[in-house]
Amino acid sequence: MGTAGAARYTVPPCHPRTDQPLQPDRLRMAAMSTDPTDPSREDPIGWYVHLPFCTTKCGYCDFYSLPTRPDLIPDLVRALNREIEQRDPGRPIRTVFIGGGTPTVLPADALRDIVGPIAERVRRQAGVIEFTCEANPSSADELKLDLLRDLGVNRLSFGAQSFDPAELRVLDRLHDPGHISEAMRLARSAGFDNVNLDLIFGVPGQTVESWLRSLRAAVALSPDHIACYSLMYEEGTALTKQRRLGLVHPVDEDIEAEMFERTEAELVAAGYERYEISNFARPGRQCRHNLIYWRNEEYLGIGPSAVSYLRGVRQKNRADVKAYVDAWGAGNVAGGIVIEREELGREHRARETAVQWLRLADGIDVPAFERRTGFRAGDLFEPALRRHVTGGLLEANATNIRLTPRGRLLANQVMMDFL
Ligand code: SF4
């Protein structure tokens, strides 16, 4: 909903840990050696549900989102529930993430009618460990947060982005810093003990000092998780057009790099650990849903533009809410709304797995990678390893491959060579 895609830069370095809080999951990941295309595969998956409406469109946003269409909400609720009924693969659910868009712009009854049936599935299972809903500070009122908590949602993710009013205006955000504090207060009083704040750095006009002020203001609210993404100028967005016209000026790359470098020091000193290139968490509060993506595990995507990755097949729903409600209103059929479908070959899956694992502070667990993919990382990535170990962007030994602090600054460059 409010972050800016993959980070171009990241923050070095992280302290080596001996008490990995994710040990049970790491063991589970290591045990996943079966063929992901196996139709009898029954291990748990993540669910993502995309609710595309927002109050207005932010200039930097390239997610599929559009200003709320009240006339379409009843049809959207019906369509989502039909898609859930037809596409539920019947596998155990590990995590649920309600995103968008801004789920909390929907009226409370629509939110209940969408989240309720999913919550019912979650209640029937014992293994769901995380149930997140995204929210905007300006649209998260007491009624909706209480409703979400009552339905079993146990994690909130707020698109805070900045605590500087001028930067929020550049980003077209509708809230002010006071809304963020109030949203955090409401979240805690509704009983949420797992809350994320998204922040963006590299905003035109931002300085290292103003970025640090935002970081410190976020820390002062004691969120359990903080995601720090660099602003991306995505093709087709209003912000990119403004940049081309010279109406906004990107932050100098060296200054942006300094913001990234200072981020980790600030957050580690405040008790957070960087577990992924752009993500920091208090112990035990890593985002389990996003870890499914970063481990290249399986997930079901529901709603317009949502992507699924199941049994080695990636598919994407059309990013068109009208076409989506029409297709499901006509009684349809997953096929009518799928615009991309790709069956990934064994090597393709292995390469994507490596790229995702590189995002994590733990990097690539070489023996686990071989058990899961059937490929020896040292052989498959020999040219990339030689190049980037020599160049100081990767460190590698017999059991682990990970980005160096400098490599995290240039992560995309390294990852390209693994694909
Ligand atoms: S709130 Fe803004 S950034 Fe978030 S999804 Fe809506 S338009 Fe995009």
- Ligand 1, atom 2, lies closest to the CA of 58
Structure token pair of residue 3 = 């972050």
Q: Which residues pair with 274 in a beta bridge?
A: 280
How far does the centroid of ligand 1 lie from the alpha carbon of residue 110, in Å? 19
Question: Predicted confidence band at 42 (pLDDT cuts at 50, 70, 90)?
Answer: confident
Whole-angstrom distance, CA of residue 45 vs CA of residue 114: 19
Which residues neighbour 9 within 8 Å (Cβ) at sequence distance 6 or greater?
Answer: 230, 256, 257, 260, 408, 409, 410
- Ligand 1, atom 8, lies closest to the CA of 61
Q: Among the atoms of ligand 1, which is closest to the Cα of residue 56?
A: 7
DSSP string, 205-244: T--HHHHHHHHHHHHHT--SEEEEEE----TT-HHHHHHH
Whole-angstrom distance, CA of residue 290 vs CA of residue 296: 10
Question: Predicted confidence band at 334 (pLDDT cuts at 50, 70, 90)?
Answer: low
* CA distances for 380 relative to 347, 360, 386, angstroms: 9, 20, 12
Above 50 in pLDDT, residue 97?
A: yes
Above 50 in pLDDT, residue 27?
A: no
Whole-angstrom distance, CA of residue 371 vs CA of residue 67: 46
Above 70 in pLDDT, residue 4?
A: no
Comma-separated ranges of CATH 1.10.10.920 domains in the chain: 346-416
Which residues neighbour 117 within 8 Å (Cβ) at sequence distance 6 or greater?
Answer: 81, 84
How far does the centroid of ligand 1 lie from the alpha carbon of residue 57, in Å? 6
CATH topology of domain 23-294: TIM Barrel (3.20.20)
pLDDT of the residue at 385? 97
How far does the centroid of ligand 1 lie from the alpha carbon of residue 45, in Å? 26
Residue % of the chain over a pLDDT of 70: 89
Q: Among the atoms of ligand 1, which is closest to the Cα of residue 57?
A: 7
Task: Fill in the DSSP letter of residue 8.
Answer: S
- Comparing CA positions, the residue from 7, 2, 17 lying closest to residue 275 is 17
How far does the centroid of ligand 1 lie from the alpha carbon of residue 53, in Å? 9
How far does the centroid of ligand 1 lie from the alpha carbon of residue 166, in Å? 17
| CB contact at 8 A, 180 and 208 | no
How far does the centroid of ligand 1 lie from the alpha carbon of residue 66, in Å? 8
pLDDT of the residue at 25? 33
Q: Among the atoms of ligand 1, which is closest to the Cα of residue 54?
A: 6
Q: Among the atoms of ligand 1, which is closest to the Cα of residue 159?
A: 4
Q: Which residue among 50, 56, 57 is best mutated to probe the pocket of ligand 1, counting the most ligand atoms within 8 A of its Cβ?
A: 57
How far does the centroid of ligand 1 lie from the alpha carbon of residue 1, in Å? 5
Count of residues making up the chain: 419
What mean pLDDT, rounded, does the chain reach? 89
* pLDDT, tens only, 352-387: 999 999 999 999 999 999 999 999 999 999 999 999
What phi, psi does 104 have (nearest 5°)? -80, 0
Which residues neighbour 409 within 8 Å (Cβ) at sequence distance 6 or greater?
Answer: 9, 10, 12, 257, 260, 261
Whole-angstrom distance, CA of residue 12 vs CA of residue 21: 20
Question: Predicted confidence band at 213 (pLDDT cuts at 50, 70, 90)?
Answer: very high
Q: CA quadruple 163, 168, 173, 174: dihedral positive or negative? A: positive
- Comparing CA positions, the residue from 253, 285, 282 lying closest to residue 267 is 282
Whole-angstrom distance, CA of residue 103 vs CA of residue 359: 27
How far does the centroid of ligand 1 lie from the alpha carbon of residue 229, in Å? 14
Question: Predicted confidence band at 332 (pLDDT cuts at 50, 70, 90)?
Answer: low
Residue % of the chain over a pLDDT of 90: 83
> 13-27, 34-48, 197-211, 393-407: which range is least confident on average?
13-27
- Ligand 1, atom 3, lies closest to the CA of 2
How far does the centroid of ligand 1 lie from the alpha carbon of residue 172, in Å? 9
Whole-angstrom distance, CA of residue 102 vs CA of residue 52: 7
| CATH for 346-416, options being 3.40.50.300, 3.90.320.10, 3.90.1530.30, 1.10.10.920 | 1.10.10.920
Q: Which residue among 56, 60, 61, 139 is best mutated to probe the pocket of ligand 1, counting the most ligand atoms within 8 A of its Cβ?
A: 61
Q: Among the atoms of ligand 1, which is closest to the Cα of residue 101?
A: 5
How far does the centroid of ligand 1 lie from the alpha carbon of residue 242, in Å? 18
Q: Which residue among 3, 51, 54, 64 is best mutated to probe the pocket of ligand 1, counting the most ligand atoms within 8 A of its Cβ?
A: 54
Q: Among the atoms of ligand 1, which is closest to the Cα of residue 60?
A: 3
Comma-separated ranges of CATH 3.20.20.70 domains in the chain: 23-294
How far does the centroid of ligand 1 lie from the alpha carbon of residue 55, in Å? 9
Q: Which residues pair with 364 in a beta bridge?
A: 401
Ligand 1 is surrounded, with C-beta below 6 A, by 1-2, 54, 57-58, 61, 63, 65, 100-102, 136, 159
Structure token pair of residue 26 = 């790491």
- Comparing CA positions, the residue from 313, 312, 334 lying closest to residue 324 is 334
| CB contact at 8 A, 353 and 296 | yes
* pLDDT, tens only, 231-266: 999 999 999 999 999 999 999 999 999 999 999 999
Above 50 in pLDDT, residue 80?
A: yes
Work out the angle between the directed axes of helices 177-190 and 142-151 (0-180°, nearest 10). 40
Say how far residue 137 (Cα) sits from the centre of its chain.
18
